[in-house]
Amino acid sequence: MTAGRSTFHPINSFQVYDLNAVDATGVLDLANEGHLLLLCPLHGMVEVDDRCIDANHYTYLQCAPDLPRLQIRASTRTARLLLCFVSPAFVREIAAFLGVPGEFTNLLERFPLPQGDDLSTSLVSLAATDDPDIADEIFMDIVGQVVSLQRARHAAMQRVSTKKHMTQAHLVNRLLVARQYIDARYLEPLSTRDVAKAAAISEYYLARLFRSAFATSVHQYLLGRRMHFARAQFGSSRTSITEVAAQLGYRSLSAFITAFRKAYGMTPSAYRASLKISRK
């Protein structure tokens, strides 16, 4: 771990930094080497460009070409954060292999994103491991998720039409923030209004444009995330069907069973039984 100032970063790397607001290590001064940075506070709060990011959020950072340095300050007495440095050339290489655009300019730039989604879970896991092999595997998974986000952004840009490109890019980023908010909070009671508020877009625009961008409604996307969670629970734990339904906020077990059967063509009991047969 490194505390205080740092100026050297390999092509792809990650580092945990400890900052202390009461001494010289309270400011992290980074040279602009063109990386995409993923900033994930692990403890306390940090400030970047007058935006505060606490330990319940993370953000994407990309230094503007005309800015030689980026400063991150501790906003609380102490702060610990993870920074992932991802090379644009490396992302382009992976993206080209997968046949998707590799440019991530303005990719959710500086939006405070709630932790709880798959990417933030990977970032926290990366900070916690001391095993280099596991760290490499997690890092590659993180890069894959970045490329996946870029693919979603590119597809949404093709589907969402506006008169001005900047307006289009702004709207698409807001829609991606809305989708990420669902990814991080799908176990909580959520309405379209809640998601729209988190993405700072009107409920009307969200309902209309989300379907255009992602070929599904806000409600159906939320339902899909919940059903995916349920299926994963049935495959990896002994949690009862009633307990999973309660975790997802269903007051009626029959309503949950109906939703699961609609999503996967079988009841939760039948799905769990099919897993037992396949493992024999």
Q: What is the pLDDT of residues 118-134, one digit of tens each?
A: 999 999 999 999 999 99
Distance from C-alpha of 72 to C-alpha of 221, rounded to nearest angstrom: 35
Closest CA to 201 of 170, 166, 157: 170
Q: What is the pLDDT of residues 11-41, one digit of tens each?
A: 678 999 999 988 877 899 888 777 888 999 9
Q: What is the pLDDT of residues 189-220, one digit of tens each?
A: 999 999 999 999 999 989 999 999 999 999 99
Q: What is the pLDDT of residues 85-106, one digit of tens each?
A: 988 778 778 777 877 766 656 6
Q: Provide the residue count of the chain.
A: 280
For 165, the token pair is 């490109």
Residue carrying the six token digits 């007495």: 77
Nearby residues of 262 by Cβ (< 8 Å), 6 or more positions away = none
**pTM of the model as a whole:** 0.87
Q: Which amino acid, 200?
A: A
Closest CA to 83 of 108, 48, 49: 48
Closest CA to 25 of 53, 2, 58: 2
* 167, 220 Cβ separation under 8 angstroms: no
